[in-house]
Each structure stands twice: as structure tokens, then as C-alpha cells.
Amino acid sequence: MDVIVIGGGISGVALAYELAADREVLVLEGERSLAVHTTGRSAATWIGSYGPPIVREFTTASREFLIDPPFDVDGPVAAPMSCLWVGVNGRDDDVRRLADETQAQLVDGAEAERLCPVLRPGEVRIAAWDETALDLDVMGLHHAYTRAFRARGGQVVTSARVASALREGTEWVLTTTDGATYRADVVVNAAGAWGDVVGAMFGAERLRLEPRRRTIFQSPTKASLEGVPFTAGIDDGFYFKAEGASVLCSPQDATLHEPGDPKPDELEIARAIEAVNEVTTLGLRSVSTAWAGLRTFAPDGNPVARWDAKADGYFWYVGQAGYGIQMAPALAQYAAALLHT
């Protein structure tokens, strides 16, 4: 095998697809099915004005691919959506900065109320309007990537949790918890929140990755959701978007958490409901469903796509934080190019 990719989330399968164009590639996933961790728990948005500058570049460069993927999809994986960043808690300068740095347009309170009809009159003085955003079908995208990877001859093994790694000559020999062994010249660590745990098996640098829990929930509302855009407080206190007759909402929590299966934080949910009800007429009261996932950050907040400085034949592909879906296509192409060097 030329390359083994550890982790079958969106990062792992997108990069595996790119590499399989001219290499023998195997994806090893520890769970019984793919995409059950962070990838399966996202808010499913593409927002070009979201994230630090490097993230915004990869996000922007991914847009065309998501709208018109170069492989078969079962239906569109991206639909038009608009995004409104609202100035709350006196953070109006942050809104101005965002509008300066991105394609989002500065709008006043009256215009913000027109663009987001559920805003409570007089609550918001300034906002930034980004009408280039997209609503994604994450599982559709992940499934299409996996199918296209297999069509290129790529292999996927699930229930294959890598437990140890040994360098024998120019090959890595990986052993999974069930005792199976796999060999490859190059190994890519796309293990998300488990990035440093997996890295330690290879004697690689310790990146000090920070998995941070984010809670997300659905709440029914009697308000009309017609024309309601994805709306986010610029202070990272909440975001919401319409989903059928409900609102998908997050407190935007970012609490440190060990790699694993986080549970939604009830206190954060209560705080988000209060924050949303303060600036809108949505009148949220109850929660129909809630979940949480880990967004994993490198210390500088940027994705890590590079060879390790210590371990031969070992490549990092981690730190996708809260943007791993929206920047997946361009980041995978960038990493694949580096893996050819």
C-alpha cells in the first residue's frame, strides 16, 4: 500500500480521494461506520466570511467544487443560503472589522430587521450581510467522496482502530485493536480529536491539539421562518438557522474536552435560548433534539497539513476546527500536493 489514512471523517475521505488519483490508498476507521464523530454532527454550512484568514482562503477555494463536484452525487450537496452577523453586546466594531475583511456587506439595524424578519425591532444597530453562503448536505458530500474514492480503487476498512505503529525499513506497520496489521510507506493522521493520541504512536511531534465541545440543538417555534437567514451573534454567543418548522441553534460553546463522544451541555443550551430570545421574536422554549461534537484546534487556530518534523513518512492532517466541511475540497487538494513532494 502506498498510503494509509487514519480516520474516515470528511478530512480523511476527501484527502484519500485526491491521493487515490495515482496511488494505492487505504482508509482505516476505528468506528463501525464512517463520519460518526465530528463530521456527522456539524451545522452543515459553508460561510466564506467565517474563520481566520487562512481558513477563509481554503473555504473560498472550495466553493465551486461543492456547487459542482467532479464526481457523481445523489443530489446537490450545496444550496444557496444567506448569513447575517449581528452586532450584540456592544461588539459593533467587530461587525465593522468583519465587513472590512470579508465579502460581507455592512448594514444598519433597519436593514438587518428587513433581512432577518424575526429580529426584535431596535435590538440590533449594525450587522454584516453575506449572501454567498451555502447550506450543505454533509452526509451526501461524505458519501459521494467515499464512493468516488472507491471508484479510484481506494479501500476502506471500518472497525479498524489503529493501536500501534512500527517503522520497518521504509514502511509503517500498523496494528489495530483486533490484531490485524496493515503496511504502507506513508501514513496520514486524519484522526480529528484523536490527532495527538495517534501521533504519539508514531513518535511524532506533540501538536497540543485542543478538542473543544460544541453543543447544537433544535427548537420548535411558532414564528414564521420564511426568509430567515443563518444568523450569528458577532460575540460568538449564539447562531441559528431555519430547519423546516424548527430552529437549529448553537450556544457556540468551545469547552475543552478529551477526545471522545461529548454530550450536549444543558446550561449552554439554556444560555443560548435566552440570548436568541433577547434579540429575536422566535420565542424558543423547548428543545426537540440536541447533540454535541468536538471541534479540534491547533494552538494557532489554523489547519495542520504537513509532514512531521520527527517521524519519517508521517503526515499531519488535523486541526480543521469548526470549518472542516466548508474547506474540505481545497484543503485536501493542497495536502495531496504536499504529499507528492
Ligand X SMILES: Cc1cc2nc3c(=O)[nH]c(=O)nc-3n(C[C@H](O)[C@H](O)[C@H](O)COP(=O)(O)OP(=O)(O)OC[C@H]3O[C@@H](n4cnc5c(N)ncnc54)[C@H](O)[C@@H]3O)c2cc1C
Chain residues in the site for ligand X (CB under 6 A):
6-12, 28-31, 35, 37-39, 41-45, 161-162, 190-194, 198, 214, 216, 293, 295, 320-326
Q: Which residues pair with 248 in a beta bridge?
A: 218, 241
Task: Provide, rounded to whole angstroms, the least separation between the CB of residue 196 and ligand X.
Answer: 11
The H or E element that residue 107 is part of is: strand 105-108
Closest CA to 308 of 235, 203, 153: 203
* Beta carbon nearer to ligand X, 12 or 87: 12
Give the angle subtended at the CA of 299 by the CAs of 294 and 302, to the nearest 5°: 80
CB of 287 to ligand X, least distance (A): 14
Q: Contact, 293 vs 37, CB < 8 A?
A: yes
Rank residues 215 and 221 by Cβ distance to ligand X and give the closer one. 215
CB of 138 to ligand X, least distance (A): 8
By C-beta, is 28 or 86 nearer to ligand X?
A: 28
**Residues 117, 226: Cα–Cα separation, whole Å:** 8
Q: Which is nearer to ligand X, 81 or 95 (CB)?
A: 81
| Residue 258 to residue 253: CA distance in whole angstroms | 15
Q: What is the DSSP letter of 123?
A: S
Report, in Å, the least distance between residue 327 CB and ligand X.
7
Nearest CA to 241 out of 286, 276, 206, 213 is that of 276
**Cβ closest to ligand X, residue 103 vs residue 159:** 159
Least Å from the CB of residue 109 to ligand X? 26
Alpha-carbon gap, residue 323 to 337, rounded angstroms:
20
Nearer to ligand X by C-beta: 88 or 165? 165
Name the residue nearer to ligand X (CB basis): 110 or 338: 338
341 strand-pairing partners = none
Q: How far apart are CA 89 and CA 101, in angstroms?
A: 21
Check if the beta carbon of residue 298 is closer than 8 Å to that of residue 317: no
Q: What is the DSSP string of 9-33?
A: SHHHHHHHHHHTTTS-EEEE-SSSS
Phi and psi of 338, rounded to 5°? -65, -35
CB of 181 to ligand X, least distance (A): 13
Least distance from ligand X to the Cβ atom of residue 59, Å: 8
